């Protein structure tokens, strides 16, 4: 069997010109404390890899192993993540006057969200580098995914999450054997606790964008979109943005594909969708500033969007602007209503983070930020089954044992 090698070369700071050895534990840039990004020897890889080489491999994300950071194939742990479907949602598109609207269904991933991608690669790299105990703050779904992959890899994990996180996340984390810590606060408070514990106990801190490899897993969504669109990228991609890792991943994937010469310079506009109760990126785009102010008392039912200040805020804002994209906030009420509408018209029942994009689309259309002929992709990051408490039962009748209606 052919062994596929990783072309990982080094780590590079997202904000300064510092570069760092990729084969030792790495968290932040030693010069300026910003995120580190993995870099690959793409010019060498481009000499022999063709787009068609990826076609015949297994559908999980390890098919992109050349541009992923795991050197030893034995460390590429998998639960079958990636290779998610992309399909049109024509009834809803018609209702809002769009001609081409797709959903990329990340709810099909292990643990029900796109967080599985970041966890697969992040945990695999931690295993490869000899780490034994990891720790992370989470809004919920990342904790579930990392717990599953750590169980698979035999690594210890400490997860710190707000005590009002959906209960399914708590159950998943515990069932998968991670140590769960609940905090009476936000994900930012959880992050401070994790940072202190990692310094004290020497655990590997795997907070969002404070280690370089989670984003490598997330970027595979960009490779898949390019393949699914036959290397002609769509015009617009909407992304429900909390910490923004997925959006940074998409941008990085497209950048790497362009360096390989597989796509042209046409980039989709990247549009960040946030909740009105926690929209730091939207505020910064509106104000035209380079970083985000932390939102005090951040609040939304879309728990994955409840990130008061993205750690890599400057990079995220640069990316949105460089694609001539934008950021938009929607209310929780509109999110729930539109999520139900799309479930009942299309059979597509998504997590509220993803449902927020359905609420954002009509406004983006009426503001002419999206035109009817644009090819638009919604990155549907999770499955609604994680959030059933948000949706009341309707269309219900209660029957007695003989089938007679008691309540309608």
Ligand X SMILES: Cc1ncc(COP(=O)(O)O)c(C=O)c1O
241 binds, among Zn ion, ligand X, none (CB under 5 to 8 A by kind): ligand X
Candidates 240, 268, 308, 325; binder of ligand X (CB under 6 A) is 240
Place of tokens 């084969």: 23
Question: What are 380's strand-pairing partners?
Answer: 105
Closest CA to 112 of 63, 158, 166, 57: 166
CB of 213 to Zn ion, least distance (A): 18
175 binds, among ligand X, Zn ion, none (CB under 5 to 8 A by kind): none
13 binds, among Zn ion, ligand X, none (CB under 5 to 8 A by kind): Zn ion
* 3-state helix/strand/coil string of 317-354: HHHHHHCCCEEEEECHHHHHHHHHHHHHHHCCCECHHH
The string of DSSP codes covering 166-223 is -HHHHHHHHHTTPEEEEESS-HHHHHHHHHHHHHHH-PEE--TTTSSSHHHHHTHHHH
Q: Which of residues 14-33 bind Zn ion (CB under 5 A)?
A: 15-16, 18, 29, 31-32
Q: Is the distance from CB of 289 to CB of 309 less than 8 angstroms?
A: no
16 binds, among Zn ion, ligand X, none (CB under 5 to 8 A by kind): Zn ion
Whether the CA torsion 79, 82, 83, 88 is positive or negative: it is positive
Task: Candidates 62-70, 146-154, 241-249, 317-325: pick the segment binding ligand X (CB under 6 A).
Answer: 241-249
Task: Candidates 86-94, 135-143, 147-155, 357-365: pick the segment binding ligand X (CB under 6 A).
Answer: 135-143
Q: How far apart are CA 150 and CA 157, in angstroms?
A: 7
Q: How far apart are CA 7 and CA 43, in angstroms?
A: 10
Residue nearest to ligand X (CB): 304
Q: Is the distance from CB of 246 to CB of 300 less than 8 angstroms?
A: no
Q: Which of residues 31-90 bind Zn ion (CB under 5 A)?
A: 31-32, 34
Q: How far apart are CA 309 and CA 296, in angstroms?
A: 10
Number of residues lying near ligand X (CB under 6 A): 18
Q: Mask: binding to ligand X, 353-382, rule CB under 6 A, as x and -?
A: x---------------------------xx
Q: How far apart are CA 104 and CA 119, in angstroms?
A: 19
CB of 240 to ligand X, least distance (A): 4
304 binds, among ligand X, Zn ion, none (CB under 5 to 8 A by kind): ligand X
How many CB atoms neighbour CB 391 within 10 A? 14
Residue placing its CB nearer to ligand X in the complex, 98 or 278: 278
Q: Which of residues 300-329 bind ligand X (CB under 6 A)?
A: 304
Q: How far apart are CA 102 and CA 405, in angstroms?
A: 40
Residue placing its CB nearer to ligand X in the complex, 98 or 351: 351
The string of DSSP codes covering 61-130 is GGGGGGGSS--SGGG---SS-----EEE-HHHHHHHT-SEEEEEEGGGSGGGBTHHHHHHHHHHHHHHTT
Q: Mask: binding to ligand X, 166-205, rule CB under 6 A, as x and -?
A: ----------------------------------------
Residue placing its CB nearer to ligand X in the complex, 6 or 166: 166
CB of 44 to ligand X, least distance (A): 30
Residue placing its CB nearer to ligand X in the complex, 222 or 244: 244
Residue placing its CB nearer to ligand X in the complex, 89 or 139: 139
Residues in contact with ligand X by the rule CB under 6 A:
113, 115, 139, 141-142, 208, 240-246, 304, 351, 353, 381-382
């Amino acid at each position: 069997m052919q062994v596929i090698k990783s072309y990982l070369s080094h780590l590079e700071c997202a904000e300064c010109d510092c570069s760092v050895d990729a084969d030792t534990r790495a968290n932040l840039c030693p010069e300026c404390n910003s995120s580190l990004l993995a870099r690959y020897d793409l010019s060498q890889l481009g000499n022999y890899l063709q787009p068609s080489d990826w076609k015949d491999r297994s559908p999980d994300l390890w098919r992109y192993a050349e541009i992923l950071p795991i050197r030893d194939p034995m460390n590429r742990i998998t639960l079958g993540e990636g290779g998610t479907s992309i399909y049109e949602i024509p009834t809803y598109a018609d209702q809002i006057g769009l001609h081409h609207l797709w959903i990329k269904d990340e709810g099909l991933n292990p643990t029900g969200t796109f967080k599985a991608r970041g966890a697969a690669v992040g945990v695999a790299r931690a295993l490869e580098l000899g780490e034994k105990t990891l720790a992370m703050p989470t809004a919920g779904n990342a904790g579930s995914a990392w717990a599953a992959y750590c169980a698979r890899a035999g690594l210890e994990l400490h997860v710190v999450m707000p005590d009002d996180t959906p209960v399914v996340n708590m159950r998943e984390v515990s069932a998968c054997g991670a140590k769960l810590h609940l905090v009476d606060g936000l994900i930012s408070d959880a992050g401070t606790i994790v940072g202190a514990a990692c310094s004290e106990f020497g655990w590997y801190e795997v907070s969002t964008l404070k280690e370089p490899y989670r984003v490598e897993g997330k970027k595979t969504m960009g490779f898949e979109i390019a393949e699914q669109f036959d290397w002609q990228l769509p015009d617009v991609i909407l992304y429900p943005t909390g910490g923004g890792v997925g959006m940074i991943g998409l941008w990085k994937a497209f950048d790497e594909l362009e360096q390989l010469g597989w796509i042209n310079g046409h980039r989709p506009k990247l549009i960040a969708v946030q909740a009105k109760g926690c929209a730091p990126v939207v505020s910064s785009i509106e104000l035209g500033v380079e970083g985000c102010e932390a939102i005090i008392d951040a609040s939304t039912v879309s728990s994955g969007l409840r990130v008061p200040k993205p750690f890599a805020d400057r990079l995220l804002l640069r990316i949105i602007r460089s694609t001539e994209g934008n950021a938009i906030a929607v209310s929780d009420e509109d999110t729930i209503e539109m999520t139900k509408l799309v479930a009942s018209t299309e059979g597509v029942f998504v997590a509220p983070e993803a449902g927020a994009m359905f609420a954002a689309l009509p406004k983006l259309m009426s503001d002419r930020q999206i035109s009817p002929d644009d090819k638009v992709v919604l990155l549907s990051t999770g499955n609604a089954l994680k959030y059933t408490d948000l949706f009341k039962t309707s269309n219900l009748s209660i029957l007695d044992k003989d089938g007679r209606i008691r309540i309608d």
